[in-house]
A and B are shown apart, each in its own frame.
Chain A
Amino acid sequence: MENRVVVTGMGVCAPNGIGLSEFVQSLKNQTSGINFHPELKNLNFGCQIAGKPDIDNIDLNKYFTNVQLKGLNASGIVYGVMAGKDAWEDAGLTVTPEENPDWDSGVIFGTGILGVDKFRESIYKVDEGNVRRLGSTSVVQTMASGISAYLGGMLGCGNLVTTNSSACTTGTEAILMGYERIKLKKATKMLVGSCSDSGPYVWGGFDAMRILPRKHNENPEAASRPMSATATGFVPGSGAGALVLESLDSALERRATIYGEIIGGAINSGGQRAGGTMTAPNNEAVVRCLKSALEDSKIKAEQVDTINGHLTATAKDPAEIKNWSKALGRKGIGFPYVNSFKGMFGHCLAAAGSIECVGTLLQFSENQIFGNVNCEDIHPEINKIVDESRIPRSTLNIAPKIIAKASFGFGDVNACVIFKTYDFE
């Protein structure tokens, strides 16, 4: 018998909200977290706006020891540790005492690139011939697995502790990897999620690719326009999202809060064939991934109440909607409700999947479907497939039972997870 897997804790460090209560208010009220960043202007960026979590007033001593804070210059680690520790606490779990690790708890926490600012600091010192001055933490702040290593040690996890990386699919992939581990009874609890650093060194490459909006530097809140006819690119973002996954048995035994159940999912790649490239998806692979997720969940396409798309606000949004429609065999008024939170906080890259999954699950606890922003002018190609009423422009008081969430990434990689409400039997 396989384990059923439920979500018992969540934490988030998002551009439009730190912590669950602030984040949920922002999603309900459609509050933007996208701002103008003078630093980007000074560096001659075309896109000078971004979604960056505002942690200026956060007491980091709540999350880190003084020694850990000394010389800490890796924003992804800060966001990831905040979200991860908050999720653990939210699940009602405690830190494992000094002597023995908890062998049944693990961490899969992904990132695209970590500790970029620390790495820059180190590069300057190395180039000056001053390698002896790097200090003791330049490695742990810049290794990709730094984030899972920090969290694993802080919580005392003794099961699998690792970091996955698959571009903008990372967060959703981490959730599915943790889900499988618990399902196969290799772990009881897994802290899963992802983080992404802030700043020009992370976002610069995307600006150079000219896939970020350049005409909204004066009105940042209108810049991120998923599904809109006037979308001109994705707004870069950063942050972290974290979920505690747990076997249903364990969750029931300790009477934990259950945000929802993961009933299945799928991960695949288009192999950069048949129209798929390093940066564009093979549509056939996307459709396969979405279909496999439904099969894996043993549900019919009609049962999906709402979709939280990848929908980044680039020219690819209509293709994504087409793929959903094909995979589900649903269109027009029969299409499920669909939303993208990126209109509010941009595209948080490696952190996108996990932050958005936290938001997706909050729709269960709020009995709502959160509204989209900046798509008053729905893209004509999307309009041909989906009835406008299925793209809520304000938050709906409709309680979804089953939600499909997908993320796609560079490298032609796809992931889709299916969440279901859990009714205590």
Chain B
Amino acid sequence: MEKERYQKLKEIVQTYLPDDVSEDTIQLESNFTQELNINSANLVDIVLDVEDTFDIMLENEDMDGMQTVADALKIIDTKIASKQS
């Protein structure tokens, strides 16, 4: 389950990588803007894709705390868990 979510998230993030950054660069601890060189404006689009893919809704404060891939996964897990409870 966890692995599947990570895989799906990676697929989303990959679309926003600059052409000179390989998808293998994406690791759990990767920082979206600093390490993956993703344009900060595109973080907005990543959030929208995450919402569509996992059928959840993220708030502004969730976005603020989303610095790394691991942060995003954690938020996704929390949202899905609160949806199921």
- Which residues of A does B touch, CB under 8 Å? 65-67, 70-71, 133, 135-137
Contacts and interface: CB of A to CB of B under 8 A. Distances in A.
| Most chain B beta-carbon neighbours within 10 Å: one of A65, A70, A136, A137 | A136
A38 to B, nearest CB: 31
A70 B43 CA distance: 13
Interface stretch (B2-10, B11-19, B24-32, B74-82): B11-19
B15 A66 contact: yes
Nearest to B59: A132
Interface of B: 15-19, 39, 41-45, 48
A67 B43 CA distance: 12
Contacts of B39: 67, 136
Contact of B45 (A65, A66, A71): A71
Nearest to B46: A136
A71 B48 CA distance: 12
A415 to B, nearest CB: 36
Contacts of A67: 15-19, 39, 42
B41 A136 contact: yes
A136 B19 contact: no
A70 B19 contact: no
B48 A66 contact: no
B18 A70 contact: no
A133 B49 CA distance: 10
Contacts of B44: 135-136
Contacts of A136: 39, 41-45
B36 to A, nearest CB: 12
23 contacts: A65-B18, A65-B19, A66-B19, A67-B15, A67-B16, A67-B18, A67-B19, A67-B39, A67-B42, A70-B15, A70-B16, A70-B45, A71-B45, A133-B48, A135-B44, A135-B45, A135-B48, A136-B41, A136-B42, A136-B43, A136-B45, A137-B41, A137-B45
Contacts of A66: 15, 19
A70 B48 CA distance: 13
A65 B44 CA distance: 18
Contacts of B45: 70-71, 135-137
Given A67-B39, A133-B48, A135-B45, 15 more contacts: A65-B18, A66-B19, A67-B17, A67-B18, A67-B19, A67-B42, A70-B16, A71-B45, A135-B44, A135-B48, A136-B39, A136-B41, A136-B42, A136-B43, A137-B45
A399 B49 CA distance: 57
A390 to B, nearest CB: 52
A200 B19 CA distance: 34
B16 to A, nearest CB: 5
A136 B43 CA distance: 8
A136 B39 CA distance: 10
A66 B41 CA distance: 15
Nearest to A69: B15
A131 to B, nearest CB: 12
A66 B21 CA distance: 12
Contacts of B42: 67, 136
B26 to A, nearest CB: 15
Contacts of A71: 45
A95 to B, nearest CB: 13
Contacts of B43: 136
A385 B41 CA distance: 59
A138 to B, nearest CB: 10
Contacts of A137: 41, 45
A135 B39 CA distance: 13
A344 B66 CA distance: 54
A133 B41 CA distance: 13
Contacts of A70: 15-16, 45
A65 B38 CA distance: 13
A137 B39 CA distance: 12
B44 to A, nearest CB: 4
